[in-house]
Amino acid sequence: MHPEAQEGFVFFEEHTLTNPYDFYDCVRQSGPIVRIENPHRETYMVLDFDVIREITKQPELFSSRPAGRNLNFYPKAVAYLKEHGYGFSPQIITADPPLHTVYRNVFARVLREKRAHQLRPRIVEIAAELIDNIVDEKECEFVMDYAWRLAILVIAEMLGVDRNDIAQFRRWANAWVLQLEQPLSEDEMLECMKNIAELQHYLVAALKDRVANPRDDILTDFAAATIDQENGDEPLSLREVLGMCEALIIAGNDTAVSALSLGMLRLIERPKIAERIRGDRKLIANFAEESLRYESAVQNNFRSVAEDIEFHGHKMSKGAQILLCWGAANRDPVAFENADQFDIDRAGIRKHQSFGYGIHACAGAVIARQELTESYCLLLERLHNIRLADGLSLADLKRRGGAVTHGLERLPIQFDVARR
C-alpha cells in the first residue's frame, strides 16, 4: 500500500461496489479527496459535491481519456472487429476538448428539444405496451420485463431501427454492454465482437440511407454530421458518427435500466409516497429526481490527471486516476440537508449530480427524464399495491454493477391491477 493511501479504503471490492453508502460515510471523514488502495494505479476518490464541480470545470487538468480498457487479453476478438467491422470508434465520453466540443455540438443538435418532444409520445406508447404485457400475470421481474425492454426500445426508436429488426438489435446491444463488463473468456469476447460488427454494418447502412433519403428524425441528424457542420467545422467521418450512435447504446442503456429499477424500489419501500404521487401527478418529476439522487445509477466516472499537480493538498502525478464519485456527492451533507433521507419535497431537487456535471454532463438527460417520468406515471396508474414478490424481503435484493454503473440484479414484484 502507498503510504498516502488510507488503510482499508480499497475501492475495488465487491461489497463496497454493491453497497457503497456506508463506505462513503467512512471515507468522507478523511477529507474531500482521499487516496485509496489500488495496486495498479495511483487513485484518488473525490466525494465532495463542490470539489467534483471544480474538477469537471478543468478538463485540461483532469482528462476524460483515462487509461482506457485493457483489450490486450483479447487479440483475436479485437482483430475480428477491425477486419470485419469498423473497429472501436472514437467516443464523446472519452474525448477532451477541442474534439469533445465538436462531438458535443453534434449531440446538442441531434438530441435537441424538438427531437425529445417528438420522442415523448413514442416513449408513452412503448411503456404502455410493456405494461400491457405484464398486467395479466399480476407479477413480473421488473428489471428484465420492463426496465431493460423500455431502455432498449427507446434507443432503437432513436436509431430508427425497424420493428422487424428489434430482436436482433437487442442481441447486438446486449453484446455491446456485455463486452464492457469484462472479464470474459476470449471466445465470449469474440462472440460479442461478431455481434458488434453486425450492428456496425447495420448502423452504417442506415446512416448512408439517411444521407441519400433524409427524414425528420434523429438518425438523419447524425447522418448530416458526415456532410456538413453548422458551425463550419470539417464534416465528421462515418466512423466518428457511428461511434456517436454506439454512444447511445453505451450511455443510455444500463443507466436507464438501473435508474428505472431503483425508482421502482423506492416506490415499493415507500407506499405512502407512491400513494401521494399517484394522487398528484405534478410530484412525479420530483420523485424521479429524488430517486436519481438517493441511489445514483452511475456511481462514478473516471478522469486522469493530465500533468503533475498539487490539488487540495495532494501531490498527484500525471496519469493518476480520479474517481468522480457522483453517488457520494449526492449524499454530501453540506450540499443536501438530511442527505440520507428520501424527500421528494426537498428544495433544489434537480441539483444532484446523477447526470454528471460540466462539459460531459449527460447529453441524454432530457430523454432519460422522459423515460422515468412517463414510466412512473403509467405504472402508478395501472399497477396498485406494488410490492416485492411473495417470500422476498428488501434484504434479499442484490445490487449489480462495477465501478461505474449501479443497479439491481433482479426486482421480482407483484401488484394489483387498477380497473380502467
Does residue 238 bind ligand HEM (CB under 6 A)? Answer: no
Burial of 109 (0-12, 13-18, 19+ CB in 10 A): middle
- Sequence-separated (6 or more) residues with CB below 8 Å from residue 27: 6, 9, 34, 36, 45, 47, 328
CB of 187 vs ligand HEM, minimal distance in Å: 31
**Contact residue for ligand HEM among 295, 360, 377, 383 (CB under 6 A):** 360
* Alpha helices by DSSP H, 69-185: 75-84, 99-110, 113-135, 142, 148-158, 166-180
Comparing CB distances to ligand HEM, the nearer of 16 and 258 is 258
Encoded one letter per residue, x for contact with ligand HEM by CB under 6 A and - for no contact, window 162-191 reads: ------------------------------
Among 220, 255, 291, 375, binds ligand HEM (CB under 6 A): 255
328 binds ligand HEM (CB under 6 A): no
404 sits near ligand HEM (criterion: CB under 6 A): no
Among 46, 203, 259, 339, binds ligand HEM (CB under 6 A): 259
Pick the closer one to ligand HEM by CB: 190 or 206. 206
Sole binder of ligand HEM in the list 349, 363, 380, 411 (CB under 6 A)? 363
288 binds ligand HEM (CB under 6 A): no
Cell 476538448 found at: 97
Q: Is 300 in the site for ligand HEM (CB under 6 A)?
A: no
Dihedral sign from CA coordinates of 218, 223, 229, 230: negative
What does the alpha-carbon distance between residue 234 and residue 231 come to, in Å, rounded to a whole number?
A: 9
Residue nearest to ligand HEM (CB): 364
Segment contacting ligand HEM by CB under 6 A, of 46-54, 130-138, 187-195, 348-356: 348-356
Nearest distance from residue 373's CB to ligand HEM, in Å? 11
77 or 335: whose CB is closer to ligand HEM?
Answer: 335
The verdict on 104 binding ligand HEM (CB under 6 A) reads yes
CA distance 363 to 109: 11
Smaller CB separation from ligand HEM, 32 or 401: 401
Among 110, 251, 262, 322, binds ligand HEM (CB under 6 A): 251
| C-alpha torsion angle, residues 201, 206, 209, 215 (rounded to 10) | -170
**Selected range binding ligand HEM among 176-184, 332-340, 357-365, 382-390, rule: CB under 6 A:** 357-365
301 binds ligand HEM (CB under 6 A): yes
Closer CB to ligand HEM, residue 80 or residue 294? 294
Rounded-to-integer distance, Cα 265 and Cα 252, Å: 20
Residue from 102, 196, 247, 413 binding ligand HEM (CB under 6 A): 247
Q: Please tell me whether residue 107 adopts helix, strand or coil conformation.
A: helix
Residue 259 or 408 having the CB closest to ligand HEM: 259
User: Do the beta carbons of residue 371 and residue 151 sit within 8 Å?
Assistant: yes
**191 exposure class (CB count in 10 Å sphere: 0-12, 13-18, 19+):** middle
Phi, psi at residue 385, to the nearest 5°?
50, 50
User: At closest approach, how far in Å is the CB of 43 from ligand HEM?
Assistant: 16
Q: Which stretch binds ligand HEM (CB under 6 A): 70-78, 140-148, 196-204, 352-360?
A: 352-360
**Burial of 116 per CB tally in 10 Å (0-12, 13-18, 19+):** middle
Tell me: does residue 264 bind ligand HEM (CB under 6 A).
no
Name the segment binding ligand HEM (CB under 6 A); options: 14-22, 336-344, 354-362, 390-398: 354-362
Q: How far is CA 214 from CA 119, 208, 229, in A?
A: 18, 10, 16
151: nearest Cα among 246, 242, 254, 244 = 254
Q: Are 64 and 321 in contact (CB under 8 A)?
A: no
Element (DSSP H or E) covering residue 144:
none
Q: How many residues bind ligand HEM (CB under 6 A)?
A: 25
Let me know: does 82 contact 321? Beta carbons within 8 Å: no
The residues of the shown chain that bind ligand HEM, judged by CB under 6 A, are 64, 92-93, 104, 107, 247-248, 251-252, 255-256, 259, 297-298, 301, 326, 354-356, 360, 362-364, 367-368
